[in-house]
Amino acid sequence: MLPTASTRQPATGGSVSLAAQFMATRQLLETLLEPLSEADATIQSMDDASPAKWHAAHTTWFWETFLLRDRAPEYRLFNEDFPFLFNSYYEAEGDRLLRRNRGLVTRPTLADVLEWRAHVNEAMLPLLDDPAHADLVTLGIAHEQQHIELLLTDIKHALSKNPIGPAMWNTPQVAKPQQEDGWISHPGGIARIGHQSDGFAFDNEGPVHRALLEPFALSRRLVTNGEWDAFIADGGYEDHRLWLSDAWAWLDRCNIRKPLYWHDGEQFTHCGWQERDPDAPVTHISYYEADAFASWAGARLPTEFEWEAIARGQDTPDSDAAFNASAGNQLDHAAPPQPVGTSELFGDCWQFTRSAYLPYPRFAPAEGAVGEYNGKFMAGQWVLKGASCATVRGHSRASYRNFFYPQQRWQFTGLRLAKDL
Amino acid sequence: MLPTASTRQPATGGSVSLAAQFMATRQLLETLLEPLSEADATIQSMDDASPAKWHAAHTTWFWETFLLRDRAPEYRLFNEDFPFLFNSYYEAEGDRLLRRNRGLVTRPTLADVLEWRAHVNEAMLPLLDDPAHADLVTLGIAHEQQHIELLLTDIKHALSKNPIGPAMWNTPQVAKPQQEDGWISHPGGIARIGHQSDGFAFDNEGPVHRALLEPFALSRRLVTNGEWDAFIADGGYEDHRLWLSDAWAWLDRCNIRKPLYWHDGEQFTHCGWQERDPDAPVTHISYYEADAFASWAGARLPTEFEWEAIARGQDTPDSDAAFNASAGNQLDHAAPPQPVGTSELFGDCWQFTRSAYLPYPRFAPAEGAVGEYNGKFMAGQWVLKGASCATVRGHSRASYRNFFYPQQRWQFTGLRLAKDL
Amino acid sequence: MLPTASTRQPATGGSVSLAAQFMATRQLLETLLEPLSEADATIQSMDDASPAKWHAAHTTWFWETFLLRDRAPEYRLFNEDFPFLFNSYYEAEGDRLLRRNRGLVTRPTLADVLEWRAHVNEAMLPLLDDPAHADLVTLGIAHEQQHIELLLTDIKHALSKNPIGPAMWNTPQVAKPQQEDGWISHPGGIARIGHQSDGFAFDNEGPVHRALLEPFALSRRLVTNGEWDAFIADGGYEDHRLWLSDAWAWLDRCNIRKPLYWHDGEQFTHCGWQERDPDAPVTHISYYEADAFASWAGARLPTEFEWEAIARGQDTPDSDAAFNASAGNQLDHAAPPQPVGTSELFGDCWQFTRSAYLPYPRFAPAEGAVGEYNGKFMAGQWVLKGASCATVRGHSRASYRNFFYPQQRWQFTGLRLAKDL
Amino acid sequence: MLPTASTRQPATGGSVSLAAQFMATRQLLETLLEPLSEADATIQSMDDASPAKWHAAHTTWFWETFLLRDRAPEYRLFNEDFPFLFNSYYEAEGDRLLRRNRGLVTRPTLADVLEWRAHVNEAMLPLLDDPAHADLVTLGIAHEQQHIELLLTDIKHALSKNPIGPAMWNTPQVAKPQQEDGWISHPGGIARIGHQSDGFAFDNEGPVHRALLEPFALSRRLVTNGEWDAFIADGGYEDHRLWLSDAWAWLDRCNIRKPLYWHDGEQFTHCGWQERDPDAPVTHISYYEADAFASWAGARLPTEFEWEAIARGQDTPDSDAAFNASAGNQLDHAAPPQPVGTSELFGDCWQFTRSAYLPYPRFAPAEGAVGEYNGKFMAGQWVLKGASCATVRGHSRASYRNFFYPQQRWQFTGLRLAKDL
């Protein structure tokens, strides 16, 4: 999780200072809290999700713990109880609140947490421009960007459990389907995989290594709601031949017959229940469903290496120029995220690969508590590539590895087909 | 659950009109919400408990459904979604929100619910003094009083799950131990059991019938924290001979070694963590624990009939005059409830009996949805008698039958020993 | 559980010696094992049930532990491992095999257990005629008779889980419906309840005490399969008004829509799947179902006191002479038990009462390990009266109290309606 | 799962006919049943395991279903009920017994199943030498060999749950530690992976493809009991830094502190409880434990590709000649399997790799029901390489891919360390 390379060149744009990035990220999270009531920001709708207030607090705990406590000798903890309440999963940082009880922390209030945020922001200011801390500051910004995406997907899940389907915003995004059909082919060969530039990356994106690819093609576009309707109409959820054994048991146990948030012709969004656009990318599907759909479609999911090779654009004769990781439908400001359909590789939905989330050759986690960031989750999860409509623009890159368990669906997950050539 | 007799004589005091009782009860519940934040009022800490806001809403649903909808032809529902959200368990009233999801209803807000309450209060005014509705109005007041007690015990549980132990009030009640030692003896014989006056009672308190008692004695006082400490010190929780078979399995499965809310020498209260007074009555114990303690003490729990016979005071030669159901440590206004220790029979803690909660001879539930109030719970629960520090003064009476499952502990439950003579 | 009175007069018939009763009981159990394979005798189909071999062994452990170990100084344990393997639930007797693992004990073999039985029988001979041991011997015989009934119901359950529905015997009992319609009325008054003769009884049948009865009537016959068919056809399982709240949740959770062992027009028996006789008594129902049926039929279940008063026949003007506890369809030898329908009070099915299984006034368990026989189960269960087709003839009596949890159905349980007069 | 290539050259030795292999395999399974009682062969100790009798029956169902039913027009099913009882997981073959109820099938008896086996053997004879069936016959033999290994590990688990620790055999294998220290290094490069010869292989071993390796080394020997003792003594099970996040939760939930079957200085074997040899390979460990141990030892697990490259011996300058997949401690006849320690790559224990069990490039399952053999399990499991002391000699090969969930431990699993060069 520590930056693998110099961060003198800011990852998210040549001329933006770390201090400015820090403040922009901190501000974005707080702006997202504005449409939420004290209660909205407090509840937790399942173990996988966290309250919005908790995200606001945990990201602040991160700065306080890894920067201020360790590197600002004068700094005093804002509140002695907060480390216990807002540590997420860092065993090295001691005991912590049970994950499933995060929604019972009504005190401190949201106002208390915002005050803590302001306090920490002020204390951080002197450290932001010191190159000695640049690596950790860059990491902290990336960490907070991840929690911005989780805040959005977690609150969406929480609001969806309310039978009246409340809206966080009232301005649904209009779909503008621009997805081009067709395939981007790749001749295969040895690809360089993993983070290779001077910018920041998480530890799980390295070390750089070689991967051998066979000739393949990746779809130019994401699978759509309309195609998913056809999969359902064709009995996709009832045909055992399409499903992994674990998936088939999951369908039965959880009575799954459609993507999360679907009901008749509508889907639940941050703007409440909305009509579903058949041309927009399908989202909120599990790995199990993505895999079964690909089988039904006579295709397959790409490997993470294939996806990355296409994203880099090197040695991909008939592809477009290398894809820009900052183009596409991503998050720029506090607005309702929703997949709309573009021709970009990064954006709309995270895209499932058929690659298990495992360490790259010679991978070693960072020393200390920050070493718990990624490596300990390398079991039982799948890699997703790209970015989603809820990903802060500038956060992702070709080597980025997102990861989830195969039954999880509350993220903006989708799929892009691949095939052998 | 329908009043069993005329309610022309108000149950809770000769001269108070039903309209005044209605407004006082409605007001008391709202005053209890004042120390709570929007978030405090929304969360649900376990399936057995409900959010404070839910109590405020459900009691309002009761008036709207059983009085206004059925008896006020002009009345229009305040909000079409609310019946689904705030029905508790009335199967006859249709589908409803899953109980365990009550804590996810952040909208309507607390302000919305308070507005609904005001709206319903106003609509109720013309009905309150009409004798045709007196039975249902009296029932609705009793219903709301029950939810006031649940609101207090549910929010106590929710706050207790927060590691920082927040206080709802900052004025802990000072214990004033006045408990007299000694026993009240009863010669046995045939006692008249069940509701016998003109006032209101729930359907489960009747019909009046005879019960045969053998000579017995009931303790003048409740078991104390200090006595419970001695039980623990004597290995009470480790001695299988004291425990019912189901209880012994429960101790093991849930790792129970002390009353709920105990930690070292402190206990959690509505005023946060407070030192425990050894002379105050023990509370937040299960039936299983009460039964084991009684065995350890060489005594037993009373039957519900014995307790009621003592409470009536008839034919009880050496007892005091009949006990006054409105004396004792009960709830008068929005203040922190806490057992303190008095010589009264009604107050401080609900008292476990050894009587299973079963129908009285010739019992029949009321017709219609209100018939679901009591009868359908007559399996697997135990009867408790008296009243607690969280019971609205005037709510209880000698024939009152409270009931809980044998492992439940979040109510203000305690015990008073009995013995054979 | 210790005999409450002299056992000089054998409980099961004037002239039969204890030694003869002992050998007859031991022999009956072994004869029941004959139709079973080594595997049949070993498996366990649910936590509530035990393997047939385990019953053969546990009953032997009882004699070895409570008689031979404690009272025959020369006796040496047959095998040091057996107490751990075959203690059932006596905490005072030390650690024991987890109940749910009883079906994994393939060694010792059935032959080993039979050898142990013979060894213990021989060692017991000198003690059987010594009046000093008569109480414990009588208790041991009653204990083994109880396990004979359990052996039969447990193996029935185990065989029923095999999709091919194997038969233990091939001679299905022919139904001979002789049930008379009508009611036995009782004028009410004070009845003497509990064991009152010189014979043996379990500790839970005493002390003798008085109970006050209101006028009532008890049906002359058991409810039949045909009546249950009508209950189903009338939507009985779908009408929430008939069901206790816990029962309604159980129906939903376990998808209950008919008695255990019913499938279309057949029922599973010890003789495999057999056509169901509409005139035969319904069996394998839960308390929840019995209670709902009684409500549907406009009647109710009797209390245990009412049932016992009828069984005693005293002061029951229009009843038959007192019922004979040894008449009726009970178990005489190793033959397939099945309810057939007679006019007897004892036999065919155990009959649910509406009485919770609680201690009688002044009840105290026996000292020592045998004190765990009954008292510790007095929570959450219901009393059943009478006897079933699988009860060893001579085992039951008017004061006998059988007890089960309200959802259990694998015993030969049925119901006889009662009503108020 | 269909053979990927001609099977005219028998896989397990040049001159042995398919008919002879068939009979040897069928006979071996039956010989393993001899030390078992009817009860031993019937019970099921956990969902993951199956009864010995079930293995004997299921393997027979395989021949009857895929060969006789489909290809021998005259053949009639031995018993119409058996397909329902003994289908394992083939959805295409219709409904089947719930997996967890396999241990309740006492009828058919073991003798019935043996009769079925003989019947099927005889019916198979005419098909065995017909080249048209050679592929399926070879598959059926491999399938039965897999069930021989499972039979051994399943019965070991079942016997281990008996507190008296019964032995299946009384001749414990003597450890003969011959493990050489040191590493086999590999220069990296492009390796050909997957089944490449004319012999039989499962569908999951292909298609052949290329994999890119970096320089690495593989230990010459398996990790031993003594080394595992040191890991425990060093607090390995208490140091969160060594464990994957899912693993850490599993340790806590299941209270894992040592390998399965360890107790003090002993381990449970097919010969009962035996002293543990510190020089013998450790076995019955999970992937989680293998991974943690490797971290503790400053090494890592090999990938499946690295392991296979070493096993092939091509381009491995300083290794021994290619390893012989039929050398090592494997199963030749009905004798107690137990790891002893040799220098062979194949034998003693299956060896965990760090490779998730995923499809090879261009993998496609076979058509029809046999296509359910492998592909549908490609999620959430890990690849193990080699062979164990319970693997039928001749069954394994360099391309063989065994697979289990990361918490499973009842197979003979072990580990061989790897490191980067």
Span C220-243, pLDDT tens digits: 999 999 999 999 999 999 999 999
Tell me how far CA of residue A271 lies from CA of A280, A393, B363, B378, in angstroms: 16, 21, 52, 45
d(CA B106, CA B83): 16
What pLDDT sits at residue C347?
96
What pLDDT, on a 0 to 100 scale, did the predictor assign at position A315?
52
Query: Residue D13 pLDDT more than 70?
Result: no
Burial of B98 from C-beta contacts in 10 A (0-12 / 13-18 / 19+): exposed
pLDDT at site A177: 67
* pLDDT at residue A10 tops 50: no
In D, minimum Cα distance to A368 occurs at D241
Question: DSSP 3-state helix, strand, coil percentages of chain C (rounded to 5)?
Answer: 35, 15, 50
Q: Nearest Cα to B372, choosing from B86, B102, B144, B87?
A: B87
Q: Which residues pair with B193 in a beta bridge?
A: B209
User: Cis bond leading into C83, ω under 30°?
Assistant: no
Over residues C194-217, mean pLDDT: 94
- Contact assessment for residue B300 and residue B186, using Cβ atoms and an 8 Å cutoff: no
Average pLDDT over residues A232-251: 97
CB contact under 8 A, B248 and C91: yes
| Helix, strand, coil percentages for chain B (3-state, nearest 5) | 35, 15, 50
CATH of domain A183-420: 3.90.1580.10
Q: How far does the CA of residue D335 sit from the closest CA of chain C (Å)?
A: 20
Subunits close to D (at least 3 CB pairs below 8 A): A, C
Whether the pLDDT of residue D146 is over 60: the answer is yes
The answer to whether the CB atoms of C43 and D40 lie below 8 A apart is no
Q: Taken in order C188, C194, C200, C201, is the CA torsion positive or negative?
A: positive
Q: Which residues pair with C272 in a beta bridge?
A: C269
Return the residue in C87, C106, C107, C155 with the most chain D beta carbons within 10 A, the one to mutate for interface testing.
Answer: C106
Cis peptide before B83 (omega within 30 of 0): no
Contact assignment for A240 to D211 by CB distance below 8 Å: no
* Residues near C367 by beta carbon (within 8 Å), at least 6 away in sequence: none
| Cβ within 8 Å, pair C163-D103 | no
Q: CB neighbours (10 Å) of residue C146?
A: 18
- Cβ contact B190–C210 (<8 Å): no
Would the pLDDT of B11 be above 70?
Answer: no
From the CA of D246, how many Å to the nearest CA of chain A?
A: 7
Residue of chain B whose alpha carbon sits nearest to that of A100: B45
pLDDT computed for residue B13 by the predictor: 46
Give yes or no for a contact between B303 and B374, defined as CB atoms under 8 angstroms apart.
Answer: no
Which residue of A246, A382, A383, A421 is the best one to mutate when testing the D interface, meaning the one whose CB has the most D CBs within 10 A? A246
Q: What are phi and psi of B125, to 5 degrees?
A: -50, -50
Q: How far apart are the CA of C419 and the nearest CA of chain B, in angstroms?
A: 9
Residue D10 has a pLDDT of: 37
Question: pLDDT band for position A365 (50/70/90)?
Answer: confident
* Nearest-angstrom CA–CA distance, C81 and C88: 14
- Alpha helices per DSSP H over C220-362: 225-233, 245-254, 287-296, 304-312
C-alpha B272/C-alpha B274 separation (Å) is: 6
Contact B104 A38 (CB under 8 A): no
The verdict on whether omega for the bond into residue C51 sits within 30 degrees of 0, i.e. cis, is no
Percent over 70 (pLDDT), chain B: 94
Q: What is the pTM of this model?
A: 0.94
| C-alpha distances in Å from residue A257, one per residue of A243, A262, B408 | 13, 10, 38
Q: What is the tens place of the pLDDT at every residue in A28-56?
A: 999 999 999 999 999 999 999 999 999 99
Mean of pLDDT values over C293-314: 94
Please state, rounded to an integer, the average pLDDT across all residues of chain A.
Answer: 92
Q: Got the DSSP string for D136-155?
A: HHHHHHHHHHHHHHHHHHHH
**Residue B90: pLDDT band by 50, 70, 90 thresholds?**
confident
Q: Which residue has the higher pLDDT, D129 or B56?
A: B56
- Which chain C residue shows the shortest CA-CA distance from B375? C244
A24 is written with which tokens?
A: 């922009």
**Residue range D248-307, pLDDT digits in tens:** 999 999 999 999 999 999 999 999 999 999 999 999 999 999 999 999 999 999 999 999
Answer whether B39 sits within 8 Å of A106, measured CB to CB. yes
Question: How many A/D residue pairs have CB atoms within 8 Å?
Answer: 76
D246 and A380 within 8 Å at the Cβ level: the answer is yes
Quote the CA–CA distance of C80 and C74 in Å, as a whole number: 16
- Cβ within 8 Å, pair B376-C245: yes
Helix (H) or strand (E) holding A392: none
Q: Where residue A6 falls among pLDDT bands split at 50, 70, 90?
A: very low
Q: Is the pLDDT of residue B316 over 90?
A: no
Query: With contact defined as beta carbons under 8 Å apart, do D417 and D300 qualify?
Result: yes
Quote the minimal CA–CA distance from D320 to chain A in Å. Answer: 25
d(CA C236, CA B87): 24
- Whether C30 has a pLDDT exceeding 60, the answer reads yes
Task: Give A166→chain B minimum CA distance, Å.
Answer: 7
- Which pLDDT value is given to residue C177? 67
Lowest mean pLDDT among A6-20, A161-175, D220-234, D326-340: A6-20
Size of interface C-D (CB pairs under 8 A): 80
Of C38, C84, C97, the CB nearest to D39: C38
Q: How many residues does chain D have?
A: 421
- The b/e string for C354-372 (b: 16+ C-beta within 10 A; e otherwise) is bbbbbbbbebebbeebbbb
pLDDT of residue A92: 84
Over residues C281-301, the pLDDT tens digits come to 999 999 999 999 999 999 999
Q: Which residues pair with A275 in a beta bridge?
A: A266
Scanning every residue of chain B, which has its alpha carbon at the shortest distance from the alpha carbon of C421? B362
* Cα separations in angstroms, D169 against B176, D114, D338: 73, 21, 12
Give the model's confidence band at B7: pLDDT under 50 very low, under 70 low, under 90 confident, else very high: very low
pLDDT recorded at residue C313: 82
So what's the pLDDT on residue C368? 74
Residue B12 has pLDDT above 70, yes or no: no
The predicted-structure confidence for D94-127, as pLDDT tens digits, reads as follows 888 899 999 999 999 999 999 999 999 999 999 9
Does residue C317 have a pLDDT over 60?
A: no
Q: Which residue is associated with the tokens 């005044």?
A: B20
Any idea how long chain A is? 421
Q: Which residues contact A51 (CB under 8 A, 6 or more apart)?
A: A41, A42, A43, A44, A102, A103, A105, A154, A158
> Residue C360 has what DSSP assignment?
P
Q: Select from A374, A380, A382, A378 the least CA-distant residue to A355.
A: A382
Percent of chain A with pLDDT over 90: 83
- For residue B371, list chain C residues with Cβ-Cβ distance below 8 A: 241
Residue A278: asked if its preceding bond is cis (omega within 30°), the reply is no
- The three-point CA angle D221-D224-D227 to 5° equals 120
pLDDT in tens, C108-117: 999 999 999 9
Does A146 have pLDDT greater than 90?
Answer: yes
Asked if the Cβ–Cβ distance from C162 to D104 is below 8 Å, we say: yes
* Contact indicator for B131, B16 with CB cutoff of 8 Å: no
In the predicted model, what is the mean pLDDT of residues B157-182? Answer: 89
CA distance C3 to chain D (A): 35
| pLDDT (average), residues B363-389 | 88
**Cβ distance of B104 and A161 shorter than 8 Å:** yes
State residue B248's pLDDT score: 96
Distance CA B196, CA B203 (A): 12
**DSSP symbol at D331:** B
Question: DSSP string spanning B297-308?
Answer: TT-BPPPHHHHH
C211 interaction partners in chain B (CB closer than 8 Å): 212
Numbered residues of chain D with Cβ closer than 8 Å to any chain C Cβ: 37-43, 45, 81, 84-85, 97, 101, 103-110, 158-159, 161-164, 166
CB–CB of C245 and B212 under 8 A? no
Contact C104 D45 (CB under 8 A): yes
Given a cut of 90, whether residue B370 has pLDDT beyond it is no
Asked if residue D5 has pLDDT above 80, the reply is no
**Subunits that touch chain B (at least 3 Cβ pairs < 8 angstroms)?**
A, C
Q: What pLDDT, on the 0 to 100 scale, is given for residue A409?
A: 98
What's the rounded mean pLDDT across residues B7-17?
51
- Indicate which of C238, C246, C354, C373 best probes the interface with B, i.e. most B CBs within 10 Å of its own CB: C246
CB of A68 within 8 A of CB of A61?
no
Whether D and C touch (3+ CB pairs < 8 Å), yes or no: yes
- Give residue for tokens 């992702």: A396
C-alpha D335, offset from chain centre: 17
Q: Which two tokens stand for residue A256?
A: 């799954």
Amino acid D314: pLDDT: 59
Min distance D280 CA to chain C CA atoms (Å): 29
Is the predicted pLDDT of residue A202 greater than 80, yes or no?
yes
pLDDT at A152: 98
Q: Tell me the average pLDDT of chain D.
A: 92
Structure confidence by residue, pLDDT tens digits, D313-366 = 855 555 555 789 999 999 999 999 999 998 899 999 999 999 999 999 999 877
Collapsing DSSP to helix, strand or coil, C91 comes out as helix
Interface of D with A (CB under 8 A): 89, 91-92, 190, 209-212, 214, 240-241, 243-248, 287-288, 291, 354-356, 358-359, 361-362, 371, 376-380, 406, 420
Q: What is the pLDDT of residue C13?
A: 46
- For residue C358, list chain B residues with Cβ-Cβ distance below 8 A: 354-356
Q: Looking at beta carbons, which residues of chain C come within 8 Å of D42?
A: 39, 42-43
Band of residue C406 on the pLDDT scale cut at 50, 70, 90: very high
Kindly identify which residue of chain A lies nearest to residue D292, measuring between CA atoms: A376
Cβ distance C383 to C399 under 8 Å? no
Give the per-residue pLDDT at B2.
37
* Residue from the list B210, B245, B288 with its beta carbon closest to the beta carbon of C212: B210
If phi > 0 it is left, if psi is from -120 to 50 it is alpha, else beta; for residue C39 that is alpha
Residue in D54, D164, D170 to test binding to C, most C beta-carbons within 10 Å: D164
User: What is the least distance, in Å, from the CA of D212 to any CA of chain A?
Assistant: 6
Kindly list the residues from chain A whose CB atom is less than 8 angstroms away from the CB atom of residue D189. none
Distance CA D222, CA D180 (A): 9
**Which of D43, D86, D98 is the mutation pick for testing C, counting most C CBs within 10 A?**
D43
Burial of A317 (0-12, 13-18, 19+ CB in 10 A): exposed
Q: Considering only CB atoms, which chain D residues are within 8 Å of A354?
A: 358-359
Helix axes A52-62, A18-33, angle to 10 degrees: 160
From A357, which residue of chain D is nearest by alpha-carbon distance?
D356
Residues of C with CB under 8 A from a CB of D: 37-43, 45, 81, 84-85, 97, 101, 103-110, 158-159, 161-164, 166
